[in-house]
Structure 1
Amino acid sequence: MSRKATNLALITAAQVLTLSLWFSGTAAGPGMARESALVTANFQALLTSAVQAGFVAGTLISAALALADRFDPRRVFAAAAIGGAVANGAILLQPLGAEAAVVARFATGMALAGVYPVGMKLAVGWADRNDTGVIVGLLVGGLTLGSAFPHLVNAFGGLEWRLTLGSASAGALAGAALMARVRLGPRHAPAPPFEPAAALRLWRNRGTRLATLGYLGHMWELYAMWTWVGLYLSASFAVWRGGAGGDASEAALATFAVIAAGAAGCIGAGFLADRIGRVRVTVGAMAVSGACCLLAGPLFGVHPALTTALCLVWGVAVVADSAQFSASITELAEPGLTGTMLTVQTSLGFALTLITIHLMPPLVAWAGWSGAFAMLAVGPALGCVAMLRLGRSRDAARLAGGRG
């Protein structure tokens, strides 16, 4: 195996192992609820939301201090992975339902701010101008599989929650250990002198601003879809059966398949984007996912096979473009600030997801699934506008080896 392949394999493995911390709370929640009435549905939702809120806070701090660029990214990654493992493991020491567990999940999210964008920076350091998209796609594909995993676990009755949390912390420690074997790639650029306002360059530069606006349109839809598609499928299957609840594992398995299918979309879109351009791929993916948003309402309550088929297409399209926004930033940003620019972009995107995730329940209650999902379609529509403008700009020549 070549040095490049070896290092990319190590980085990907470390990232997937460490990001298991993100999903462990979601997977552990049902088991915790079986042991204590204090672990309500609202408490389980807090365990998940706290990680995202912590991630947003962590990325803001990391971007302001330019941690991913000023320090060896391998050390930043390892330190963050160890911190996340400790914070996640601290939940095992708390009584079930304790508020301290939510605080620990927030701290876990803050630590992961030093893992996800930093892992992308490390991987891009090994990329050539013709494979950046597929390399970042592999990393986002790993995140996508991790997002789907709790639904697979719950479809088969769930795992013992202490084992789930403990295994995730052990995986993060293993990810930190792998960093000792990672080498910096030939595209790794030293950071310029520290400038507190460097993070603002993402918005001042027209190319990175448009790529980030496209990313925000994508994120407006993505996590709200991932969060609520399981409930949508379960409710749709029940309506088809005349109100009968049916087998909960059927909807959980369908949800796993829908989200996991996105991993193939990430890799396939990366392969295409490196050959036909990032603008074409991102606009195409958002057009398909936006159409699925609009079709999901009318197809609610029809035969489960048809609803699932639509959601499988949606699951592929909704995340297929995700890595290409990050790849675009690595090509458009000042080389020594790639880590900071990626961190700012992900911070803005995940902050936006906190809004749309919590908007969905009242929208479903007020306008039904059709109205709620139509609201999500606004994101990819605006994202398409931003990316088409980027494609017509001079900055497009710097994307995907000149392919736009």
Structure 2
Amino acid sequence: MKVKTSSTVPAYILPVIVVSQFAGTSVWFAGNAILPALQSLYHFPEQMLGNITIAVQLGFITGTLLFALLTIADRFSPVKVFMLSALLAAAFNLLLLFTEGHVSSILTLRFFTGFFLAGVYPVGMKIAADWFAANLGKALGFLVGALVAGKAVPHLLKGLGDTSMWKEVIIYTSCMAAAGGLLVGLWIKNGPHRTQGKKLSFHNLSSLFQQKDFKAAAWGYFGHMWELYTFWAFVPIMIGWYNLQHHTELNISLWSFIIIGAGALSCILGGYLSRSMGSAKIAFISLSGSGICCLFAPLFFVVSPPLFLTALLCWGCLVIADSPQFSALVSQTAESSRKGTALTLVTSIGFAITIISIEIMSYVVTANASMMPWLQDHKEISLLLLAPGPLFGLLSMRSLLKKYMP
């Protein structure tokens, strides 16, 4: 039987996967978006932002690690895994309506929401890789762009309303996630390039990193992840810092949506450019740009509001544009029968790194004044802690530049 090429893929496949990824991941930052309303109602401590973000990340890490250990995405139908995972993530997100301010319940539900998102994000990339053997960078550009937009949606819903609308944010995002899962389950079949995965073997996981090119792609991705989610988590806080310093009233939720959501466009643009420039070069350029933003971030807070927002918009575009290209490189450098497991495992480790980064940043920002008195009036200096990630990633992936360019 002749295997289909990317040119014979039905036109609806990529749009359906993209829309479903967008809808499925809308529950990711729902907790962050409604946190100000919950803090107003229940007087949560300042560090609740870090806790609620880490709960989702920890759940996602646990889920992706378990999925990788059990080789779920390679041994079972990724379409069915995606649908079931999206429905369960939506259900746990919806249960936030009934927590009545209990911190342990909120964090537990965010954990399980993140856990089942492990069957949405990396499995969505696996489905795309099964359909698009050629131009995978372009396909994943659209897919990760949808992920970015989905994560930004809760900020938009909140920004267009007020704190009293937090329940609507939860309801809308839960419905979107459930609809995304059903859309894939009802419209998409397993791709023609899918290879049946190997049986469960822990050696299969460790042997992945014995391949030089795979290791370079994975480590580049890890450096990228040190910066990405901490930046996203702290975008609302950065705008709040600027408002306090300059006595401005920038709409925190609306601008958070715009800054985070702008990354969707850069992912798509990077996907198109990868066809002529190669995924490695696009990833290298994007990671270099976001690293420069890390170094100059403290200076963003001394400029006028338009320049400040422009700088954050540029950062928001650069910080994510490399993500789909790193995923494409991971997929290209892994064995065909282990692509799903490789994507899931690398994603799991990458998100574990985000917890460390977010925890360090949260600790420094909320440190007692007696410990770091110089930081209390200049918290933006803490953003320099993001710079080592891009630097490590750039050094790790240099060997891929020539080999994975057209």
TM-score (norm 1): 0.89
Letter in 2 for 1:343: T
Alpha-carbon distance change, 362 to 104 in structure 1, aligned in 2, over 3 angstroms = closer
Letter in 2 for 1:155: G
Deviates more, 1:251-260 or 1:54-63: 251-260
Aligned to 1:93: 98
Give the conservation status (yes or no) of the 8 Å contact 2:9–2:131: no
Give the conservation status (yes or no) of the 8 Å contact 2:22–2:149: no
Give the conservation status (yes or no) of the 8 Å contact 2:59–2:113: yes
CA drift of 1:33 comes to 3.4
CA drift of 1:228 comes to 1.5
Aligned to 2:107: 102
Alpha-carbon distance change, 369 to 280 in structure 1, aligned in 2, over 3 angstroms = farther
- Structure 2, unaligned stretches of length 5 or more? 1-6
Alpha-carbon distance change, 289 to 183 in structure 1, aligned in 2, over 3 angstroms = same
Letter in 2 for 1:307: F
**Identical positions, percent:** 35
| Residue 253, structure 1, aligned to residue 254, structure 2 | yes
Letter in 1 for 2:85: A
Deviates more, 1:49-58 or 1:230-239: 230-239
Aligned to 2:392: 382
Alpha-carbon distance in structure 1 between the residues aligned to 2:290 and 2:211: 28
Deviates more, 1:60-69 or 1:221-230: 221-230
Give the conservation status (yes or no) of the 8 Å contact 1:120–1:136: yes
Give the conservation status (yes or no) of the 8 Å contact 1:363–1:371: no
Alpha-carbon distance in structure 1 between the residues aligned to 2:95 and 2:363: 34
Aligned to 1:18: 24
CA drift of 1:175 comes to 2.0
Equivalent position SS for 2:152:
helix
Matches within 5 A, 1:167-178: 167-178=172-183
Alpha-carbon distance in structure 1 between the residues aligned to 2:104 and 2:249: 33
Give the conservation status (yes or no) of the 8 Å contact 1:17–1:175: yes
Equivalent position SS for 1:188:
coil
Aligned to 2:308: 307
| Residue 356, structure 1, aligned to residue 366, structure 2 | no
| Residue 134, structure 1, aligned to residue 135, structure 2 | no
Letter in 2 for 1:315: G
Give the conservation status (yes or no) of the 8 Å contact 2:243–2:250: no
Aligned to 2:123: 118
Alpha-carbon distance in structure 2 between the residues aligned to 1:200 and 1:138: 30
Aligned to 2:81: 76
| Residue 55, structure 1, aligned to residue 57, structure 2 | no
Deviates more, 1:108-117 or 1:91-100: 91-100
Give the conservation status (yes or no) of the 8 Å contact 1:7–1:183: no
TM-score (norm 2): 0.89
Aligned to 1:234: 240
Letter in 2 for 1:190: Q
CA drift of 1:140 comes to 0.8
Aligned to 1:216: 222
Alpha-carbon distance in structure 2 between the residues aligned to 1:295 and 1:195: 45
Give the conservation status (yes or no) of the 8 Å contact 1:133–1:327: yes
Alpha-carbon distance in structure 2 between the residues aligned to 1:252 and 1:106: 23
Letter in 2 for 1:65: L
Deviates more, 1:145-154 or 1:219-228: 145-154
CA drift of 1:231 comes to 2.0
Alpha-carbon distance in structure 1 between the residues aligned to 2:181 and 2:269: 29
Give the conservation status (yes or no) of the 8 Å contact 2:226–2:353: yes
Deviations 1:337-370 (A, max 9, x none): 1110000111111111111112124445645456
Deviates more, 1:88-97 or 1:10-19: 88-97
User: Over aligned residues, Cα RMSD in angstroms?
Assistant: 2.2
Deviations 1:3-57 (A, max 9, x none): 53212222222222111121222223233334x3254444454333211110001
Alpha-carbon distance change, 91 to 310 in structure 1, aligned in 2, over 3 angstroms = closer
Deviates more, 1:185-194 or 1:377-386: 185-194
Letter in 1 for 2:249: D
Alpha-carbon distance in structure 2 between the residues aligned to 1:329 and 1:46: 30
CA drift of 1:387 comes to 1.3
